[in-house]
């Protein structure tokens, strides 16, 4: 019997998409049952509130409709960021400890399931949940934004035309307003938030594989996120100091930070979208590559520590 | 021991991976900053100024939200005429959302218009003191816009805003600086045609307020008039007429009224308005003569003339 089991283990492929899919699906269902989607109600209320907000139109010169659209996007993206970060952090940090507590881990690992498949399945389950949530939030944001922007464009067109403004000038004014409406860049920004969540979840997973406490995992990941937001500054400082040949203690700290921590500022392109800027496909592709790179590194390192872990 | 070794291996792998990805990340980061897709880095001084807000704002997309709520709060300061608080608030707001035109506009408007004018009613100040404070607040408004242009050097709206304040005749105008600022707009790439046309007209308008630049102003107006029909507007047409009648100008091409304005009727309509506004801008050389000539030519009734014939005994 033991020999048969060993043979079965040996025959097991290293990475099986089907097996990973089953574990991911199970994790996703488990998380859905935790009623995480209730936050969507809060998100809709937030969006509705932001949609009602009217900026004080004081100067008359500036375009306040644009400001209202900016605020709507800004509030939406802030909520998306917050939610995806919290979920990536907490759900991933709880993955392994919860499986140990429920004894599900033993049931899975005693079967011919490679540990990498288990980790990937669990992580993808969390990421599926974040993806679905962000998709829903993106739809809600787009809906509110479209409603508000189209109403504003109609009013502005009428107002500008009544002032006798030339059509070219009207188009120029409306182009600014349209850039703040629903665009492809808006969805790209949501995707960038998802990519950031992938990186955060992968870090949390890596830490949870060698940490013995959930609290430690949460705090450590949070610290890494905070440092990750300053990596760009550290890298810039280190490169400037290197140019001047000044390699002091601060340079050593900056270079260590730049080497060991992920640069989370690279994913903060939603700020550009809030400003009404266009995100090219090339940039989106580059950011995706970086996110996948981080994901691969952290998953491999998680597997490295988890493969020999005894329970 | 095993766990310790694992951590060392993890750190080593992260270090090597970090070393390999650093050039790629640095390049990407620079491109994102150049395209203004990510917020600009805050200096140590800015971080100190923003206190806790700097930390919260570091996480994506919270910056504009915080800035929006801070700007709403300034409405109360505006009602209470607390200009120092407005100044401080906007200094932080523009740090949080530096690419937002609205905040720069609001900040300079509060300083150069509201605060400057409000101080004129301050009974604790002497007349000289009121003038000094008036100029100081206008300068504060200009300094804010200088900063705005520095942060957003590739956006015409910021230059335009700055030049508008510099050429505002109620705000201690500096037309020469306004001309230079408007010229900066013309150097920007991919400028919409309508913006280019309007900017050139604004340059001419500002030049007309600089008496020493009469020749330059005339030459520029002539060039615009010949360039396209888009420039056949009263500012250009009047400048050509005044310029060719200026005693110190070298006139390259003397034009008739019909050539300048399109027709005698149009010329009369435009010049009547110019005469009403004769105290603004340059000295209206030749305008009076042109109106008199047109009134005779078009047989304008006496009661409707700007310069009606006077009875002989009154002459």
* Tokens describing residue A20: 């990973």
**Position A267 in a domain:** yes
Asked whether the beta carbons of residue A74 and residue B109 sit closer than 8 angstroms, the reply is no
Chain A residue numbers with beta carbons less than 8 Å from the beta carbon of B37 are: 269, 271-272, 277, 279, 283
Those residues whose C-beta lies under 8 Å from the C-beta of residue A95, and which sit 6 or more positions away, are A27, A122, A123, A126, A205, A208
Residue A11 has pLDDT above 60, yes or no: no
Chain A residue numbers with beta carbons less than 8 Å from the beta carbon of B63 are: 271
Distance between CA B215 and CA B92 in Å, rounded?
45
How distant is the Cα of A62 from the closest Cα of chain B, in angstroms?
A: 6
**Position A6 in a domain:** no
CA angle A212, A213, A215 (to 5 degrees): 155
Strands (E), A230-269: none
In this prediction, residue A134 carries a pLDDT of 96
Span B122-128, mean pLDDT? Answer: 87
Q: How do residues A75-85 score in pLDDT, each as one tens digit?
A: 999 999 999 99
**Position A2 in a domain:** no
Closest CB to A297: pick one of B17, B35, B100. B17
Closest CB to A59: pick one of B28, B61, B109. B109
Q: How do residues B89-121 score in pLDDT, each as one tens digit?
A: 999 999 888 999 999 999 999 999 999 999 888
Highest mean pLDDT among A10-19, A53-62, B202-211, B275-284: B202-211
Distance between CA B163 and CA B185 in Å, rounded?
10
**Position A1 in a domain:** no
**Position A150 in a domain:** yes
What range defines the domain where residue A191 resides? 15-306
Distance between CA A220 and CA A206 in Å, rounded?
11
Residue A12 has pLDDT above 70, yes or no: no
Span B40-64, mean pLDDT? Answer: 73
Span A204-220, mean pLDDT? Answer: 89
Distance between CA B175 and CA B165 in Å, rounded?
10
Task: Flag the least confident range among A44-58, A67-81, B108-122.
Answer: A44-58
Nearest residue on chain B to A76, alpha-carbon basis: B61
**Position A48 in a domain:** yes
Q: How do residues B213-225 score in pLDDT, each as one tens digit?
A: 999 999 999 999 9
**Position A7 in a domain:** no
The answer to whether the complex's ipTM is over 0.90 is no
Q: How do residues A137-179 score in pLDDT, each as one tens digit?
A: 999 999 999 999 998 888 888 888 888 877 777 887 788 788 8
Mean pLDDT estimate for chain A:
87
Distance between CA B173 and CA B204 in Å, rounded?
15
Closest CB to A271: pick one of B19, B38, B75. B38
Q: How do residues B192-241 score in pLDDT, each as one tens digit?
A: 888 999 999 999 999 999 989 999 999 999 999 999 888 999 999 999 99
Based on C-alpha coordinates, what's the Rg of chain B?
Answer: 28
Span A240-249, mean pLDDT? Answer: 85
In this prediction, residue B31 carries a pLDDT of 93
Span B169-180, mean pLDDT? Answer: 94
Distance between CA B165 and CA B62 in Å, rounded?
31
Asked whether the beta carbons of residue B62 and residue A301 sit closer than 8 angstroms, the reply is no
Span B57-81, mean pLDDT? Answer: 82
Nearest residue on chain B to A67, alpha-carbon basis: B102
Is B36 in CB contact (< 8 Å) with chain A?
A: yes
Task: Flag the least confident range among A6-20, A216-230, B106-120, B215-229.
Answer: A6-20
Is B144 in CB contact (< 8 Å) with chain A?
A: no
Q: How many domains does chain A have?
A: 1
Distance between CA A113 and CA A108 in Å, rounded?
7
Residue B315 has pLDDT above 60, yes or no: no
């Amino acid at each position: 019997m033991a020999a048969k089991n060993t043979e079965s283990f040996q025959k097991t492929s290293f990475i099986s998409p089907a097996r990973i899919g089953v574990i991911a699906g199970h994790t996703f269902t488990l998380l859905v049952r935790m009623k995480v989607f209730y936050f969507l109600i809060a998100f809709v209320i937030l969006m509705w509130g932001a949609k009602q907000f009217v900026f004080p139109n004081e100067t008359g010169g500036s375009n306040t409709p644009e400001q209202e659209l900016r605020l709507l996007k800004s509030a939406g993206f802030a909520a998306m960021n917050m939610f995806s970060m919290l979920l990536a952090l907490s759900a991933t940090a709880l993955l392994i400890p919860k499986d140990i507590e429920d004894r599900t881990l033993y049931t899975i690992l005693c079967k011919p399931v490679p540990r990498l498949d288990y980790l990937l399945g669990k992580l993808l389950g969390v990421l599926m949940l974040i993806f679905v949530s962000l998709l829903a939030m993106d739809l809600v944001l787009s809906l509110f934004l479209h409603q508000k922007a189209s109403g504003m464009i109609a009013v502005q067109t009428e107002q500008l035309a009544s002032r006798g403004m030339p059509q070219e000038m009207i188009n120029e004014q409306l182009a600014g307003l349209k850039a703040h409406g629903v665009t492809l860049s808006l969805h790209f920004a949501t995707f960038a938030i998802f990519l950031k969540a992938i990186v955060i979840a992968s870090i949390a997973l890596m830490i949870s594989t060698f940490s013995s406490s959930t609290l430690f995992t949460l705090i450590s990941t949070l610290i890494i996120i905070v440092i990750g937001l300053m990596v760009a500054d550290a890298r810039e400082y280190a490169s400037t100091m290197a140019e001047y040949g000044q390699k002091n203690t601060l340079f050593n700290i900056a270079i260590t930070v730049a080497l060991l921590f992920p640069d989370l500022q690279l994913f903060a392109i939603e700020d550009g979208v809030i400003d009404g800027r266009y995100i090219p496909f090339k940039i989106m592709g580059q950011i995706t590559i970086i996110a996948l790179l981080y994901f691969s590194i952290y998953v491999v390192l998680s597997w490295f520590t988890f493969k020999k872990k005894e329970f | 021991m095993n766990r310790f070794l694992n951590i060392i291996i993890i750190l080593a792998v992260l270090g090597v991976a970090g070393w390999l990805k650093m050039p790629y990340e640095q390049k990407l980061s620079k491109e994102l900053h150049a395209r203004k897709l990510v917020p600009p880095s805050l200096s140590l001084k800015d971080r100190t100024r923003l206190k806790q807000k700097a930390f919260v704002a570091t996480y994506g997309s919270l910056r504009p939200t915080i800035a929006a709520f801070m700007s709403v709060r300034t409405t109360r300061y505006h009602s209470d005429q607390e200009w120092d608080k407005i100044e401080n608030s906007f200094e932080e707001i523009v740090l949080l959302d530096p690419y937002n035109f609205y905040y720069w506009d609001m900040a300079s408007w509060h300083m150069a218009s509201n605060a400057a004018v409000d101080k004129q009613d301050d009974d604790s100040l002497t007349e000289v003191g009121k003038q000094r404070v008036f100029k100081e607040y206008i300068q504060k408004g200009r300094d804010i816009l200088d900063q705005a242009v520095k942060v957003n050097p590739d956006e015409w709206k910021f230059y335009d805003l700055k030049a508008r304040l510099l050429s505002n005749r109620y705000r201690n105008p500096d037309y020469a600086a306004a001309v230079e600022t408007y010229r900066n707009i013309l150097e920007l790439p991919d400028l919409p045609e309508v913006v280019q046309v309007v900017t050139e007209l604004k340059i001419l308008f500002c030049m007309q307020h600089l008496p020493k630049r009469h020749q330059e102003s005339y030459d520029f107006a002539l060039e615009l008039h010949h360039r396209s029909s888009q420039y056949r507007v009263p500012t250009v047409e009047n400048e050509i007429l005044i310029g060719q009648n200026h005693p110190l100008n070298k006139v390259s091409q003397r034009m008739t009224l019909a050539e300048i304005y399109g027709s005698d009727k149009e010329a009369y309509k435009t010049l009547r308005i110019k005469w009403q506004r004769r105290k603004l801008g340059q000295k209206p050389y030749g305008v009076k003569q042109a109106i008199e000539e047109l009134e005779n030519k078009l047989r304008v009734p006496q009661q409707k003339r700007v310069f009606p014939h006077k009875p002989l005994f009154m002459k």
